[in-house]
Structure 1
Amino acid sequence: MTFYKLNSFVLFYFCITSQLTIQHINGAKNYIKVFPKVGENITLNCGNIISKHADILWKMNHKELPGRAKVLKNGDLFISTVDISDSGIYICDLGTANNYVGHAPLAEIELKAISLPGPLLGVKVIPYTVLLFIRWEAVKNEGESPVANVTIRVKEINNSSDNWLIFQTDITSLQKEIYHLQPNTLYTVEMWASNIVGNGEKKVINTQTLSEMSEDELEKHLLEGIDKFDTRAWMFAVVVIMSTFSIFGIALCYLLIKDPRIQKRLEDGEDVERIELIPNITLNPGYCET
Structure 2
Amino acid sequence: MYDFLRPIVYFYLFLATVNGQNFTQVAVNIGRNLTLKCPVHHTSGIMWIREDGKTLPTHVTVLDSGSLFITEVDRNDSGIYACIRENVVNSDARINVTVKTPPPALVDVVVRPSTVLALLIWKVGGDGGYPIINFTAQYRLAYANENWTAISPNHITPNSRQIEVYKLLPNTTYEFRIWATNQLGRGTITNVYGKTLNEYMEQELARHLFDGVENFDTRVWAVAVGVVMGTLILLGLGTCILLYRECHVPGVIEEQEIIELVPNIILNPGFDPHNQNDQIPDENSNSETPLRLNNNTVVQPRNTQIGFIL
Q: TM-score, normalised by structure 2?
A: 0.51
* Residue equivalent to 1:134: 120
Q: Is the 8 A contact 1:184 1:212 kept in 2?
A: no
1:193-250 CA distance string (max 9 Å, x none): 444364325242231342252x454344434444554454234235446767959x97
Partner amino acid, structure 2, of 1:112: T
RMSD: 5.0
Partner of 1:72: 63
In structure 2, the residue matched to 1:204 is 192
Residue in 2 that maps onto 1:125: 112
Counting helix residues as a fraction of each chain, which structure ranks higher? 1
Is 1:36 aligned with 2:25? no
SS of 1:236's partner is helix
Query: Could you tell me whether the CA contact under 8 Å between 2:47 and 2:83 is conserved in 1?
Result: yes
CA distance 1:158–1:36, change in 2 (3 Å): closer
Identity %: 27
Give 1:1-290 correspondences, 5 Å limit.
33-37=26-30, 40=31, 42-44=33-35, 46=37, 57=46, 67-68=56-57, 69-73=60-64, 75-80=66-71, 82-84=74-76, 86-88=78-80, 110-115=96-101, 116-121=103-108, 123-128=110-115, 130-136=116-122, 138-141=123-126, 144-157=129-142, 159=144, 161-167=145-151, 168=154, 169-195=156-182, 196=184, 198-200=186-188, 202-213=190-201, 215-226=202-213, 228-240=215-227, 246=234, 278-280=262-264, 282=269, 284-287=271-274
Structure 2, unmatched stretches of 5+, are: 1-23, 242-253, 277-310
Answer yes or no: is the 8 Å Cα contact 2:111–2:192 preserved in 1: no
Secondary structure at 1:125 match in 2: strand
Greater fraction strand: 2
* CA distance in 2: counterparts of 1:91 and 1:139, whole angstroms: 35
What residue number does 1:102 align with?
A: none
Distance 1:32 1:191, change over 3 A: closer
Cα deviation code 1:47-69 (max 9, x no counterpart):
99xx9x97595768977795234
Question: In 2 relative to 1, CA 207–240 (structure 1 residues): closer, same or farther, beyond 3 Å?
Answer: same
Shift of 1:70: 2.0
Number of aligned positions between the proteins: 226
Cα drift, residue 131 of structure 1: 1.9
Task: Report the CA distance shift for 1:224/1:78 in structure 2 as closer, same or farther (over 3 A).
Answer: same
Q: Which has the higher contact order (CA 8 A, sep 6+)?
A: 1
Structure 1 pair 283/173, CA: closer, same or farther in 2 (3 Å)? farther
Kindly tell me: are residues 288 and 54 of structure 1, through their superposed partners in 2, closer, same or farther at Cα, counting changes over 3 Å? Answer: farther
Contact 2:82 2:95 (8 Å CA) reproduced: yes
1:75 deviation in Å? 4.7
CA contact (8 A) 2:29 2:99 kept: yes
How far is 1:274 from its partner?
Answer: 6.9
Which whole-Å CA distance do the structure 1 matches of 2:143 and 2:109 have between them? 27
Larger Rg: 2
Q: Label 1:73 to 1:89 Cα distance change in 2 as closer, same or farther (>3 A).
A: closer
Q: Give the CA deviation at 1:46.
A: 3.7
C-alpha change, 1:108 and 1:185, in structure 2 (3 Å) is closer
Q: Deviations over 1:44-102 (max 9, x none)?
A: 15499xx9x9759576897779523422235542125544464236679xx7xx99xxx
Q: 1:150, 1:194 within 8 Å by CA — same for their partners in 2? A: yes
Q: Could you tell me how far apart the structure 2 residues matched to 1:243 and 1:57 are?
A: 99
Q: TM-score, normalised by structure 1?
A: 0.54
The answer (yes or no) to whether the contact 1:44–1:77 under 8 Å persists in 2 is: yes
More off after superposition, 188-197 vs 236-245: 236-245
Q: CA deviation at 1:162?
A: 1.9
8 Å contact kept, 1:86–1:113: yes
